[in-house]
């Protein structure tokens, strides 16, 4: 069974007042499911207080690509039967952006890490944008604790993919922060993913998806 993951560096999804910048990446995700009408599960726990509004946009985008979309709301986190049913039925599981530490806290607290691992190992498509991308990887450069001074932390993800990812790599300061964090991170490769870029990882084979033709991705050993 092939293991399929897509990690997205960033980009607007078409919320009010913004462009829809990630359409090509979204199409690639749907194609990986290899189904006519894939079941799509959105996990918005990195932005837990705004899941419904975030989901409305994601649902529209993926409905236009032929998907049947579901989510798990904050008020449903204690409904274990619903959670199990949504994971079981999903062909694609997508983790959205926001606060990486909050996303990982909820996944652990409500026993969803093992469900994501099981889904990945059974061939379901696991994808994530920004914080969601970090969650898929072993580590990531996260601004979840950023205050006045620009400084990223090394956040720990689920580790489906053995990488340290820095989303939004094109933003000011990210290149230096990835270099700094990699100096204290051993035995793993780092990758800087710009907005509008994604890595498609099928088993151990990595390829780049780019919305704007920029497929140059920075890897650090």
pLDDT surpassing 70 at residue 217: yes
What average pLDDT score do residues 91-103 get?
A: 97
Task: Look up the pTM and report it.
Answer: 0.96
Lowest mean pLDDT among 39-43, 138-142, 212-216: 212-216
Cα angle at 97 between 121 and 35, to 5 degrees?
Answer: 45
- pLDDT score of 148: 46
Sheet holding 218-220, edge to edge: 153-156, 137-142, 161-166, 189-192, 218-220
What average pLDDT score do residues 128-155 get?
A: 87
pLDDT surpassing 70 at residue 147: no
CA–chain centroid gap for 175, Å, is 20
CATH number at residue 42: 3.40.50.880
Please report whether residue 115 resides in a domain: yes
Mean pLDDT of the chain: 95
**Helix or strand holding residue 174 (H, E):** helix 174-183
pLDDT surpassing 50 at residue 127: yes
Please report whether residue 175 resides in a domain: no
Please report whether residue 188 resides in a domain: no
* pLDDT grade for 151, boundaries at 50, 70 and 90: confident
Percent of the chain past pLDDT 90, that is, above it, reads 90
> Which two three-digit tokens encode residue 94?
């997508």
Please report whether residue 182 resides in a domain: no
* pLDDT grade for 146, boundaries at 50, 70 and 90: low
Q: Provide the residue range defining the domain that includes 8.
A: 4-138+195-213
Percent of the chain past pLDDT 70, that is, above it, reads 98
> Which two three-digit tokens encode residue 102?
């909050």
Domain count, the chain: 1
pLDDT digits (tens, 9 = 90+) for 154-197: 999 999 999 999 999 999 889 999 999 999 999 999 999 999 99
- pLDDT score of 172: 86
pLDDT surpassing 80 at residue 83: yes
pLDDT digits (tens, 9 = 90+) for 4-39: 999 999 999 999 889 999 999 999 999 999 999 999
- pLDDT score of 150: 63
Please report whether residue 160 resides in a domain: no
């Amino acid at each position: 069974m092939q293991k399929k993951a897509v990690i997205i560096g960033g980009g607007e999804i078409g919320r009010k007042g913004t462009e829809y910048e990630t359409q090509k990446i979204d199409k690639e995700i749907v194609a990986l499911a290899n189904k006519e009408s894939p079941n799509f599960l959105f996990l918005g726990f990195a932005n837990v207080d705004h899941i419904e509004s975030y989901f409305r946009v994601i649902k529209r985008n993926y409905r236009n690509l032929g998907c049947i979309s579901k989510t798990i709301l904050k008020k449903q986190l204690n409904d274990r039967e619903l959670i199990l049913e949504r994971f079981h039925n999903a062909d694609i599981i997508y983790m959205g952006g926001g606060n990486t530490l909050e996303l990982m806290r909820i996944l652990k607290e409500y026993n969803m890490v093992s469900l994501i691992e099981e889904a990945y190992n059974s061939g379901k498509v696991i994808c994530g944008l920004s914080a969601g991308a970090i969650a898929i990887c072993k580590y990531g450069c996260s601004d979840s604790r950023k205050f006045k001074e620009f400084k990223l932390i090394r956040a720990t993800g689920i580790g489906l993919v053995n990488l340290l990812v820095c989303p939004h790599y094109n933003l000011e300061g990210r290149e230096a922060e990835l270099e700094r964090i990699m100096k204290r991170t051993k035995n793993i490769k780092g990758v800087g993913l710009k907005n509008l870029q994604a890595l498609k990882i099928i088993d151990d084979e990595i390829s780049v998806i780019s919305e704007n033709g920029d497929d140059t991705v920075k890897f650090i050993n």
